[in-house]
Structure 1
Amino acid sequence: MPCFGRTSDLQLLPILTVFLAAGYISAGVEGFTTSGNSPQQMGQNSNGSASSMDGKQNHTKVPTEGNTSLTVLEDTKAVLPCPPVPLTNVVVTTWKIMFRDKPSCIKAYRRNEKGGGNETTNCTDERITWLYRPEQDCSLQIDPVVITHDGFYRCEVVTPDGNFQHGYHLQVLVAPEVTLFQSENRTVVCKAVAGKPAARLSWTPEGDCVPEHKYWGNGTVTVQSTCHWAESNVSTVSCSVFHEAGNWSLSIELKQGAKTPENLRIICIIFPILFVLVIMGSIWLLKIIGCRKCKMKKTEPTPVEEDEMQPYESYTEKSNPLYDTTERVLKTS
């Protein structure tokens, strides 16, 4: 019995050894496979982080192009900046100015390696200048702004990293001159003269109104509104003017029975009539005087001067042979 037990134990040892070796080999193969996949995952993670960093860097870059609409009141100062590029990287700065009603012009500045630069321009308007020195600030200033400065202004910057530009649609505002007066009985005129753009008018209270617009060659517009109030209970009216440069409100008291315009009409009618009558009377008087002079010239005889006849008489008496023979015949008879 003891021999038999020892023999069975010895037979089990090789079997256990085989199972242990198979388990170790399988575990090693799985570990190798896992470790072989990990470098690929690391590469994917590194690529993802790199792309995210590039996206962040792209967001911080200066935009290469852009446009802005800018409105400026007349007789004020306007400053137009260039793209926010470090001046140490700027090689050439160029302002291209395209006016609405004038020829275009250019202002440019080129830096050199020594730190200085050369400026070129064909703009003749002395109100358009650099804000400071172009090597310190590339901004453009217009001082003062006038209506002819309407147009498009573009700053172009050349750098080793690329070109950048920014444009400005500049619109000049002109404040209108506002007036309010009564033209005739219960009729009032409100005017907004030479505004840019056109002003808007409104009345309080509302009446029977007729609007008018007059456009001028420089782009300004005169707006007029003539209103009449037939109701006698309206004693005071107000005209409100709305404009991008500001708002105004004027009031006037309606005068009952205002006859000044009627008197002016009477004067305008009578004065031409009197003028025509004076001219006709003057012409008639000149004709009478002229006729009288003509009659006096016809009735007056033309006198014959004796001095003019004396030479003829002396000739007939002294040098006429017919006269001498006649006289001799008379004497002999």
Structure 2
Amino acid sequence: MKFWEKTCCIFQLFLGVFVAKVKSDVSTVGSATTLHCNHSIVNFTMVTWRVKLPNQSSCFLSTRGNVIERNCSHRIQLDLDKERTSLRIHDIVLLDEGNYTCEIVNRTGTFRDTVSLQVLAQPYVAITVDENGHPKCQANRGRPAANISWNPMSTDQITTQIHTNDDGTVTVTSSYNTSMATEVTCIVSHPTLSRPIEKRLETLPLVAEGHNIYLILGGTIVFVLLLGIFLFWKRSNIRNCLSVKKDNPDTRENPDMIVEEVEPYASFTETVNTIYDSIQDLPDYKATNLHPMQKA
């Protein structure tokens, strides 16, 4: 082999080992993706895929022919065709995000190709009313952070909070600080959405959710007061009734009724006695009514 050919091979080998092409791939949680290696595997000696994750964990899949050695999850599969190799990932999770590097070893050297996988998470959206009675829109556990806007627009009255969760997702909360609007629409846009999500709140409640307890408590107090007034009024009526009955007992115990019942009999007796006394005083009555023995 000529000197320049040897130099070319050495230079090519140098490039193959130390120079890696990096490309990116974007997938969504729960989906599947295929990562492709650009280098040919014709006449390969060994094919290896190495996975390095942001948490510094790593794994590999390697083959020299028909046998595959691995310590990666079984959701990850190594595929070989006539000219290319690829890596298939099923049911993607957030922890799958990282760098995936293929290594092709053949008689001319070792070639590397790296794919940087970014995993997105679609947020779920909810619109509610906060403790102040203002509309509140949340894009929960999205990755990256979702963008929230309102219709009608009012930038001076909108406040936004962003919270990063332990799993790397982001929750965005936007509050529309007004109670004057009768209809507002929350609009959420995100890279995982083919079109923005719109959530409409047509009627704002008069009382915020956080104040419901005060409404219930106030209603209970009013009810107890009304019940107390009613019972006091009923008790007063009962006392009046008892007082009347005490002052006016039934006829069996009423002296007036007894007098009224006795007086006619007394008057009748007095009248009969008077008449009898008058008859007794008459001489003719005595003479006429003498006993036969007295006449003899």
TM-score, normalising length: structure 1: 0.54
How far apart, CA to CA, are the structure 2 residues paired with 1:206 and 1:84? 52
1:81 aligns with 2:36: yes
How far apart, CA to CA, are the structure 2 residues paired with 1:147 and 1:269? 49
Residue pairs, 1:1-333, within 5 angstroms: 65-85=20-40, 87-101=41-55, 103-111=57-65, 117-123=66-72, 125-131=73-79, 138-183=85-130, 187-207=134-154, 208-230=157-179, 232=180, 234-246=181-193, 247-255=196-204, 257-258=206-207, 261-265=210-214
Higher relative contact order (Cα pairs below 8 Å, separated by 6+ residues): 2
Q: 1:93–1:155: 8 Å Cα contact kept in structure 2?
A: yes
How far apart, CA to CA, are the structure 2 residues paired with 1:104 and 1:269? 61
What do residues 127-176 of structure 1 show as CA deviations (whole Å, max 9, x unaligned)?
A: 01123x57885211001111110111000111122322111111111000
Q: Partner letter of residue 94 of structure 2?
A: I
Q: 2:46–2:106: 8 Å Cα contact kept in structure 1?
A: yes
Q: 1:77–1:141: 8 Å Cα contact kept in structure 2?
A: yes
Judging changes above 3 Å, is the alpha-carbon distance between structure 1 residues 269 and 217 closer, same or farther for their aligned structure 2 residues? farther
How far apart, CA to CA, are the structure 2 residues paired with 1:83 and 1:110? 19
User: Structure 1 runs of 4+ off > 4 angstroms?
Assistant: 133-137, 266-271
Q: Partner letter of residue 122 of structure 1?
A: N
Q: 1:182–1:254: 8 Å Cα contact kept in structure 2?
A: no
Judging changes above 3 Å, is the alpha-carbon distance between structure 1 residues 268 and 177 closer, same or farther for their aligned structure 2 residues? farther
Judging changes above 3 Å, is the alpha-carbon distance between structure 1 residues 270 and 254 closer, same or farther for their aligned structure 2 residues? closer
Q: Partner letter of residue 159 of structure 2?
A: V
Q: Partner letter of residue 138 of structure 2?
A: K
How far apart, CA to CA, are the structure 2 residues paired with 1:269 and 1:162? 83
Measured after TM superposition, the shift of residue 206 of structure 1 is 2.7
RMSD: 2.9
How far apart, CA to CA, are the structure 2 residues paired with 1:248 and 1:72? 20
Note the residue ranges of structure 1 that are not aligned, 5 or more in a row: 1-57, 112-116, 272-333
How many residue pairs match? The answer is 201
Q: 2:142–2:170: 8 Å Cα contact kept in structure 1?
A: yes
Judging changes above 3 Å, is the alpha-carbon distance between structure 1 residues 127 and 269 closer, same or farther for their aligned structure 2 residues? farther
Measured after TM superposition, the shift of residue 264 of structure 1 is 2.2
Measured after TM superposition, the shift of residue 102 of structure 1 is 5.9
TM-score, normalising length: structure 2: 0.60
Q: 1:70–1:170: 8 Å Cα contact kept in structure 2?
A: yes
Q: Partner letter of residue 121 of structure 1?
A: R
Q: 1:69–1:170: 8 Å Cα contact kept in structure 2?
A: yes
SS at match of 1:91: strand
